[in-house]
C-alpha cells in the first residue's frame, strides 16, 4: 500500500495570502502567524505574495484571482468574522467558506480557510496569539501539506474529470 503524506521540502514554494483588513487587529496577527509558519518551513520572503482585501466576503474572489495569476502554488485565506446581533455573520461565513471551496475546486490549487468565526473579539484574539496555535499558522501548515501532497500526485490527467 502506498501512502502519500504531504511531507517534504517547501523551499521552492510560492504562497499567496489573502488577508482581510476588516477586524485587522486580529487579521494582522493571523497574517503574521501564517508568514512565520511559511518562513519556518523554508519559504522565502520573496515567495510570499500578500493580497489585501477589505472584508472576508472578498477573500474568495481574490483567492480565485491569485490562483489564475499563476505565480503561487497555494492560497491561504485569512479573515475574522465576529458574531453580532443580526444574521449577517452566518450569511458572510457561509459565503466565504463556499467561495473558497469553489475557488479551490475550480482552480485545482490548494487553498486553506484561515477565517475565524467567533462570538467575540476576545475569542478571536485567543485564536490569533503567538506561536503554532495561531490559526494563521495552522492554515499555512495545511497549505504547505496540501502543496506537498499535490506535488506527489503528478501523472496523466483525465481532461474529462470534473472532481
Closest CA to 26 of 147, 116, 104: 116
What are the residue numbers of the active site?
Answer: 88
Buried b (16+ CB within 10 A) or exposed e, 84-120: eeeeebeebbeebbebbeebbeebebbbbbbbbbbee
Q: Give burial (CB, 10 Å; 0-12/13-18/19+) of 140.
A: buried
Any idea how long the chain is?
A: 163
Residue 112: all three cell numbers together: 486553506
Amino acid at each position: 500500500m502506498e501512502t502519500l503524506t504531504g511531507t517534504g521540502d517547501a523551499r521552492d514554494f510560492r504562497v499567496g495570502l489573502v488577508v482581510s483588513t476588516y477586524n485587522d487587529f486580529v487579521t494582522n496577527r493571523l497574517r503574521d502567524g501564517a508568514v512565520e509558519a511559511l518562513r519556518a518551513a523554508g519559504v522565502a520572503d520573496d515567495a510570499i505574495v500578500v493580497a489585501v482585501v477589505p472584508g472576508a466576503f472578498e477573500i474568495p474572489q481574490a483567492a480565485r484571482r491569485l490562483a489564475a495569476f499563476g505565480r503561487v502554488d497555494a492560497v491561504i485565506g485569512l479573515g475574522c468574522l465576529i458574531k453580532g446581533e443580526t444574521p449577517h455573520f452566518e450569511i458572510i461565513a457561509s459565503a466565504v467558506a463556499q467561495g473558497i471551496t469553489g475557488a479551490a475546486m475550480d482552480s485545482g490549487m490548494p487553498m486553506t480557510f484561515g477565517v475565524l468565526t467567533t462570538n467575540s473579539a476576545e475569542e478571536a484574539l485567543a485564536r490569533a496569539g503567538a506561536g503554532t496555535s495561531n490559526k494563521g499558522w495552522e492554515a499555512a501548515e495545511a497549505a504547505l501539506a496540501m502543496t506537498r501532497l499535490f506535488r506527489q500526485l503528478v501523472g496523466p490527467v483525465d481532461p474529462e474529470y470534473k472532481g
